Chains A and B, each alone.
Chain A
Amino acid sequence: MKWGIVTFPGSNDDRDAWYCLETVLGQEAVLLWHKDQDLQGVEAIVLPGGFSYGDYLRAGALARFSPIMHSVVDFANAGGPVLGVCNGFQILCESGLLPGALVRNRSLSFICEWVSIRVETTRTRFTSACSAGECLSIPIKHGEGCYVADTDTVQSLTDNDQIVFRYVNEAGEAERAANPNGALHNIAGVTNPNGNVVGLMPHPEHAVEALLGGEDGRKLFTSVFA
């Protein structure tokens, strides 16, 4: 399967996502340049982590205006699978492809650590290989990962089964102490009503090799192609 990973100026995890897909998971993967509009016939897209445009103004706020994002939005609206990781999640929210927003961590500090997230729905393109309630160990590394949305939005996310991941403790419970950034209802990732666009703060591409600490992140990718 052919994957495209968008490189914005300031993207950091684009090469890591490429390595994950191309080398570890044996997919065909290409880097898509932010100034281009041609998606090169890819069948799935990853918006990677990093600090696109330095996160100046607001995380993800400038990247949404990149020429490539017009094509990504069309691709997503046509049902193509799009995964936004960390900064990619922020860009998806800024672009209106996903509801809600990501603000400064409650601690006001950047946090890098491995966390446990629970799969809340398996109906998305990126969680179909998981089982509902399954817990995955995946690292986070962000300063602005606190998911927020207004009450109506949260209600509709719940009603439409759009909450994909929550931060949980070792027992799999979404308690307050397990919430690293203050996200509303421990939300770590959400999807659009169709389930083809998923955004999450944890980095599945950094959890695909046992040597580097774990392989739980593979399932998000294998869900699409396996």
Chain B
Amino acid sequence: MASSPPVDLQLAHDHGLSTDEYNQIVQTLGRSPTFEELGVFSVMWSEHCSYKSSRRFLRRLPTTGPAILQGPGENAGIVDLGEGLAAVFKIESHNHPSFIEPYHGAATGVGGILRDIFTMGARPVASLNSLRFGAIDHPRTSQLVKGVVAGIGGYGNSVGVPTVGGEVYFDSGYNSNILVNAFTLGIARADRIFRARAAGVGNPVIYVGSRTGRDGIHGASLLASREFDERSEELRPAVQVGDPFTENVLIEACLELMQHDLIVGIQDMGAAGLTSSSVEMADRGEAGIVLTLDNVPTREEEITPYELLLSESQERMLIVAKDGCEEAVKAVFDKWDLQAVVIGEVTDDGLFRTIWHGEEVVRIPVPALTSEAPVYERRAEQPPDLVQRQQLDLTALPLPTDYAEVLSTLLTTPNIASKEWVYRQYDSLVGGNTVVQPGSDAAIIRLKESDKGIGISVNCNSRYCALDPYRGAAIAVVESARNLAVSGAKPIALSDCLNFGNPEKPEVMWQFTQAIDGIRDACETLELAVVSGNVSFYNETDGRAIPPTPTIAMVGILEDVTQHVTQWFKHAGDIIVLLGETHEELGASEYLAIIHEQERGVPPMLDLEREKQLQQLCLQASRERLFSSAHDVAEGGLAVALAESCITNPHSALGARVSLQGDLRPDALLFGESQSRVVISVQPDRWPRLQELLQADSLPYTVLGEVGGTELEISGHLKISATSLRNQWRAALGRQLT
């Protein structure tokens, strides 16, 4: 203990605590904290663990519904799938570690989200991710992309959970602060859900998995809850190192353990490691917990109690077992050659206590670290330049002379180009459930236990959010839902990963609150619940915040997985129809950004009721197997959606002949991003029935033309070889990542 530095206000500041927060600690304890206690407070009160800036606003989100078995507050959310099955899922950020050390940052992001899922008793069956990098020609981008993708693959492939989809965006707003958001979904029996609660006085607390090292100390407080600057590289030792092999056997061991009636609660040691897992379990169980730190398995000698409490070494779990079941628990972990050591027990004193060499080094009331942690009502103000950035004078925007060239440019821009270079590095097949691999609007997996399927989609257009965070966030929700609906999966619930800048800045806080309201309103109209998620603040470097990025990961259900729909055209002779209406909207579009190099205007308008109607129609049509293909119209507008319908078939391209009517500007008609639109193709004999459905709902639609031939022809505007477009689109990303 002699080596512990004296605890004072300066040391508290070094731990990221404010003067007020330090005073509150002294007041709560009635004394100065020990060095270990200061460490515990600093991580538990960090933004990352405490949600102190966001908590008030998150309460606005709808979190319940008839199919919701578990909303926010546990390791993950849970949705009832029927037939006794449940889907357990969550998305989580690992942004700062991935920027500092891309391979291990991304890899441990995958490892962490997997543990959140299997700790609830679910076998992980599908992972997705949302990645945002800086401009593709920025000097660091290429290496960051390669490192992150290799990390996700290196961990995900080895651990044996398929990566079935995701999204990748490039924007200079992320040049110095990339985003790595990882999602995993698992399947559990609805009557065998495990929760992270410590209950039953005297029940043993068991540590399982990897030994504790000195890696990742203060990951939550210093890495995830602060802005970046030029010295951030020095934080590299705060990034954890992952071992997917240990995770692989840990998953099997934990799931095997859960077959038996041996445990009361279980939680992974994620951010803030042993501290947060034990404190949060005690909090949920309204109990106390005492740990003897001398018993924690370690990787190195002379590791201090402070380090044991704060280490974020990976692949570790904390279990509260039933009294007397210790040996049975150990036997399961023995089989898998993993450690299982009793390190403490549940108490009834409501305290988090830790013992080191017989001496109590931490003694803190659990609520002081959880429900009584500081909550802030931070000031929110609209950014002063927003109104100016929302101005867009279309009359001053020249029309392109060659629309074929514009289309080809858009299809090779990194945000629209094929992401095959990325996803072919991921095992998307292991587990044997992948019905639709990466490359369509939504990933689809089947449930071996039934006829059902699950659709998953991840979305956020952060340019929309930068120009209108309310509408941008609402569009992220409806686009995720639309991706599912066009694929035949009924949207049920979502997990959100809210990536923003420094919440102490009023304009960032304004973006955040607007985004929350946008998510709420979209969810309420579409009858969706937010069941889990994560807030990542302080995504800024040298004072410059990232574009607001509320990433939405949504889950939907197919009653019959064989009714799924993919986005590419299937047969020559099919009729091509546009569902929805096109308006003269070019604000915030990819076309405006790439061709005219302007990121301004307002994002397309959104009519939530109309959107809901459209999605219900798509679901009905897929149940009746009316669609040959269905594809959401998004970045790049109708022309890109048509091209993608021609070229995204994994095997080959198929042409189409269409004509577009209307008196809009041709560039708005072709490349505008009006919402609530879907390009579908339908066999001629099924068209009358589909027409009936459309007319019954008074949904606007336009017959565009017919599938067939080797060219994409948009009459009067462009005619171009589909195979040539496909080759350009496929090769673009890899070529630009040299």
Q: Which residues of A contact B (CB under 8 A)?
A: 9-13, 15-16, 19-20, 23, 49-51, 53-56, 109-114, 139, 141, 143, 203, 205-206, 211-213
Contacts and interface: CB of A to CB of B under 8 A. Distances in A.
Interface string B155-167: 0011110000000
B32 interface: no
B337 A9 contact: yes
Interface in B413-465: 423-435, 437, 446, 448
Given A12-B160, A54-B245, A212 B428 contact: no
A110 B146 CA distance: 12
A24 B424 CA distance: 27
Contacts, number: 88
A70 B667 CA distance: 69
Contact of A112 (B426, B431, B432, B433): B426
B561 interface: yes
B556 interface: no
Given A9-B249, A10-B245, A55-B158, A109 B425 contact: yes
A51 B430 CA distance: 12
Contact of A12 (B150, B336, B430, B434): B430
A50 B432 contact: no
A50 B160 contact: yes
B248 interface: yes
Interface residues of B, number: 34
Contact of B427 (A19, A110, A211): A110
A56 B245 CA distance: 9
Given A113-B424, A143-B157, A212 B244 contact: no
B428 A211 contact: no
Interface in B229-259: 243-246, 248-249
B19 to A, nearest CB: 47
A150 B598 CA distance: 58
Interface in B309-342: 336-337
A211 B432 contact: no
A139 B431 CA distance: 13
B153 interface: yes
B172 interface: no
Nearest to A9: B249
B211 to A, nearest CB: 16
Nearest to B150: A109
7 contacts: A10-B249, A19-B432, A112-B427, A112-B429, A141-B427, A141-B430, A206-B432
Nearest to A210: B562
Given A110-B153, A112-B428, 7 more contacts: A11-B160, A12-B248, A51-B244, A51-B245, A110-B157, A110-B425, A211-B562
Nearest to B420: A113
Contacts of A9: 245, 248-249, 336-337
Contacts of B561: 211
A19 B423 CA distance: 25
A10 B245 CA distance: 6
Contact of B243 (A20, A54, A111, A141): A54
A53 B245 contact: yes
B163 to A, nearest CB: 9
